[in-house]
Structure 1
């Protein structure tokens, strides 16, 4: 799950309610992209446009925060990342809720590592 950890400006993240693709399940904290004007899970090597701030309502509308360069997010590693360093860019996990330890074509810049174990918490920005 991606959650806002720190913002480098004194304002709140841009917040919107957007429709999801039909029958797509979206979880709070999931990284998202737009496809034909509807939210969908973000690809592993694509910069996300939004982070889901909650699940979709009965109409398929999702509360989400717009990803900005000044926002840092806490998430977890899907695999051990002992070789990772600050500044490395890692890919997004297929669940849209974590990052991998893969740096090839990475999109999430590591700002801080609390634990490099699988499931360990790290801070990233996009």
Structure 2
């Protein structure tokens, strides 16, 4: 619902979230309308390396590696950034972007991951 061009729901949400920044009179007026301070948001626990799987070959890495292998088999060269590979299951993978991301994060790749990339001719992985 809007009133004078203002989204009332969004405005109320902003007031609830910024309750501590409101003065006493503003809080009192909102309270008479039934508006209360928003509950504190709970944070999700941080992901740990153990929770995301073994570094030697996480599922996402394996899928990217499989797409890269198929791309190289089809094209005969490493993909550029725009390289895509359609997988047998119909999934289209942006293998060029995936490879660029691996290069950017190469210091966090495990030995097995780097070896698998080097085996496919990725020079920076060796």
TM-score (norm 2): 0.24
Higher gyration radius (CA): 2
**Higher relative helix content:** 2
TM-score, with structure 1 as normaliser: 0.24
Q: Which has a greater percent of strand?
A: 1
Greater relative contact order, per chain length (Cα 8 Å cut-off, separation 6+): 1
